[in-house]
Structure 1
Amino acid sequence: MLPIIGNVKLEDINTRFIEQYYKKLPITPSVINSATGKKKHEYVSPSTIKDIHKILRSCFKQAMEWELIEKNNLEPNMVSEEVDMELLMKALANPEMRALLNSLAKTMK
């Protein structure tokens, strides 16, 4: 989370920003586990994406309570149920498909 949104001002994180963030996550390389020194997955896994969503939703809820923001841009259903994450992960395992998605992600920056 930190490398992508860590330096973004809270007021700049709107619904569009969050949608773009979630679109990039499945093609974002995963980080090395500090305990094992290895990556569990090549890319951010579907379960990690859901965990990130829970954390961000909680942060935005607290920001609303502290009156730092007026609207919570992370609605509970923001992680689309229409996307079959297992199918997406299989597609990302294909080098040609991964290259295509990486290319598309670059155009979204």
Structure 2
Amino acid sequence: MFQFRVAPERLADYAAAHAAVWPDMLRALHETGWRNYSIFTSPDGAVVGYLETDDLAAAQAGMAGREVNARWQAAMAPFFDGAGPDEQMVRLTEIFHLETQLAAASDDAERGAR
């Protein structure tokens, strides 16, 4: 997961741009290992992204080398105050995952029953 900010007054346009992402951009994301990728926004301009990949650094480097990514970033630049998402992206740390804790609790209960 990661986060960055969009100019709040541009959120509707930012959402509209993501309602019809270019097919060559979609293919590039897929080909560089981005899976189950979602973007969420809040009214104050906060953007949170979620993706699954085997290697985030490699997935980001793969996109950095794609011409379509340069075009996409240029098209998205007006939505940001200053630096774009690649420059301001902050990785988020997962501190809770329901299924992991349920499995651990089940394992603990099973061990206690023995």
Same fold per TM (> 0.5)?
A: no
More strand by share: 2
